[in-house]
Amino acid sequence: MISRRGFLGSLGGAAAQPARRRPNVVLILADDLGYGELGFQGNSEISTPHLDSIARGGVRFTNGYVTAPFCTPSRAGLITGRYQTRFGHEMNVVGKKNLDPAVGLPLQEKTIADHLKPLGYATGVIGKWHLGGDPRFHPQRRGFDEFFGFLHEGHFYLPPPYRGGVTRLRVKEPPYDDDNPVMRGTVPITEKEYLTTAFAREAEAFIDRHRARPFFLYLPFNAIHSPMQAEVAALKEFEYIRDEQRRVFAAMLRSMDNAVGRVLERLRQHGLEEDTLVVFLSDNGGPTAELTSSNAPLRGGKGQLFEGGIRVPFAMQWKGRLPAGQTSHRPVISLDILPTALAAAGGPVPANLDGRDLLAQTNRREERTLFWRYGANIALRRGDWKLVRQGSGVFALFHLGEDPGEKRDRLADQPGIARALRADLERMDASMVERLW
């Protein structure tokens, strides 16, 4: 268990120690990765040693959440530290909407990069943006010095004809690459390397360029989002998996784990491990039917406000500053990452943020309230109790401490708790705005 003195423990007297540079921040985001798929989450079928090392070197959050069960709104909450329903960025953006110049992260909202840049940070995003395809929403107009990646929801992992060096299973795949090129800055390029590996290459180069100053690297992989494409070498490691769909998924996950390993190794090579806060999480739960990405033991998945859609693998490491090998069961959420990064950097934490500084908190049980809204779907967690309405208009009540799989609806036998949570939910909902699109 984590000490009641908080994660930093005896470092509360850090002011008396020699001055240190502001810490680097590396934020790694997986796409559509289910709660139960990593070694540090108990999966023994697919080894993920590099991702596991983040949890082993720091803290694993068993109740780690994102703000939405889909890509776009989840990323909007993550990058601003504010519930995206506060500024209308509520729905997912796919297909032709990606090209709508009115659709994107509202310009009045500040990103993590906007906050860290004035503190002297070099800022870069490498990977999937999905917060607006119009030039005014481009990452380099949202606080980032550098961008390598693509702007919309998905991308093939190799250039046309998409088959060289990969096996691809046919699922319902939108035309991911139409008007969605890989870009360096604002210039479209042809990327010939497997895209997950290319993102690792670019992340290594970013660290090389900026190792002498504090940097913020946002690394949102598109793995393991469809289309299902895997490197042949990775596939060979999983010949023991008989189901072809599952085998391709495992190989894609292995490639992402290897990519994360390269980034962590580059930090070590430059002696930056103790100067770098590393955070890893997924943008939402796994779409189990399509990818085989398991959310076990949770109920539901991507697109739902049951736990499988919003509770995700979540780990944080800061060598020499965070105790290693810790497990925290208290609820945390992606909104906490921005204030944590700002506090670590010694910068001011704006009062309008919805998250909390994870470095300053303890592991005591608390009645923290978390809120979700996605169209007609709405939920609220307070302490171990969760009230949720998934589309049908009928609320259900669950005690997550006793029933994380949300199998037993307690609405009938706990009407008082249900009424109290409903009042909290309505109060939170009233503080949000109508969605923009």
CA separation, residue 239 to residues 242, 251, 289 (Å): 7, 10, 21
Cα 341 vs. chain centroid, distance in angstroms? Answer: 15
SS3 124: strand
DSSP element (H, E) containing 258: helix 244-269
270's CB contacts (< 8 A; 6+ apart) are 207, 208, 211
Query: What angle (nearest 5°) sits at the alpha carbon of residue 368, between those of residues 367 and 372?
Result: 130
Q: How far apart are CA 154 and CA 165, in angstroms?
A: 20
33's CB contacts (< 8 A; 6+ apart) are 224, 253, 282, 286, 293, 312, 313
* Active site (catalytic) residues: 71, 130
Specify whether the CB–CB gap between 214 and 122 falls below 8 A: yes
Report the length, in residues, of the chain.
437
How many CA atoms does the CB half-sphere of 419 hold within 13 Å?
4
SS3 42: coil
Task: Record the tokens describing residue 379, joined without a space.
Answer: 């939920």
If 0-12 CB within 10 Å is exposed, 13-18 middle and 19+ buried, where does residue 345 land?
A: buried
Task: Record the tokens describing residue 48, joined without a space.
Answer: 């993920």
Scan for tokens 């390269």, then name that residue: 262
SS3 280: strand
Q: How far apart are CA 409 and CA 415, in angstroms?
A: 11
Task: Record the tokens describing residue 122, joined without a space.
Answer: 């070099």
Q: Among residues 280, 286, 276, which one has the least CA distance to residue 314?
A: 280
Residue type, 370: L
